[in-house]
Amino acid sequence: MKWLKQPVILEYKDIAKCLVVANPANTNCLILSKYATKIPKENFTCLMRLDHNRAMAQLAAKANVDITKVKNPVIWGNHSTTQYPDVNYATIDGKPAKEVINDEKYLHGEFMETIQKRGAAIIAARKASSAVSAAKATRDHMRNWYLGTKEGEWVSMGVITKGNSYGIDEDLCFSFPCTCKDFTYTIVDGLKWDEFSKAKIEATQKELQDERKDALGTLN
C-alpha cells in the first residue's frame, strides 16, 4: 500500500451536498444557496422526486402495468400546482407513453392535475401530509445522486439555474430532467417543447420568479 506523503484535507465546502425538502422547497433551496456561499451552487438541490414518483405511479396505474415499466417522465419547474408533469419523452414498457395511453385529454387534464394537487388531496383526506412518500422520495433522490442513474434513464431534480439550460432564467431553483454519476448531476439537454409545454413551463417559471422577488425582498 502506498501512503500519501501529505494528508489530503477536504473542507466541508468541497463535499457538502444539500437537499431541501421543506416547502416552498425550490425557493428555500435558492435562498439557502445564497447564504451558504462557500458551498458550490451545483451542490444544492430541492426535492422534486416525490412528484416524479407520483407521475410514474399514475402512468403505471392508467396503463395497468408495474411501475418499474415506466421510465422518464419529467417534472419541470416548481414544486407547486404550476409544475408541469411532462410525458412527451416518457415510456411504458419501452413504448412511448403517449402511444400506450392514447388519451390527450387525460394526459393534459386529469393526469397533470392529479400530480399537481396530490399533496393537497392527501392532506385533505388524511389530515396529515404524505410523510412516508416524501421520505421514500428523499431516499430515491439521494441514492441516484450518489450512486448514479441507469443508462438511458433520468430523474427530476430541482437545481440552481445558471442561465444556460433551456433558456430558463438564471438564479432560480428549477426542476429539470437530470442524469447522475459520481455524485454529480447533469441536466438532460436537447428535449423539445411543443406550444402546450412552452406555456406550462413559462407559467411555472413566472411563479418561481415571483417567489424569488418576494423572498429576497423580505430578506433584504
| Residues catalogued as catalytic | 79
Nearest by Cα to 154 from 163, 164, 144, 162 = 144
Nearest by Cα to 85 from 61, 63, 118 = 118
Indicate the SS3 state at residue 99: helix
- Find residue 37's DSSP bridge partners: none
Question: How many other β-carbons are positioned within 10 Å of the β-carbon of residue 175?
Answer: 28
Report how far residue 174's alpha carbon sits from residue 122's, in angstroms, rounded to the nearest whole number.
Answer: 24
- Find residue 181's DSSP bridge partners: 184
Question: How many other β-carbons are positioned within 10 Å of the β-carbon of residue 102?
Answer: 10
Give the strand order in the sheet containing 173-181: 18-20, 44-46, 155-160, 173-181, 184-187
Nearest by Cα to 115 from 140, 83, 68, 92 = 83
For cell 428555500, name the residue.
Answer: 28
Can you spell out the DSSP letters for 48-87? -HHHHHHHHHHHHHHHTS-GGGEE--EEEB-SSTT-EEE-
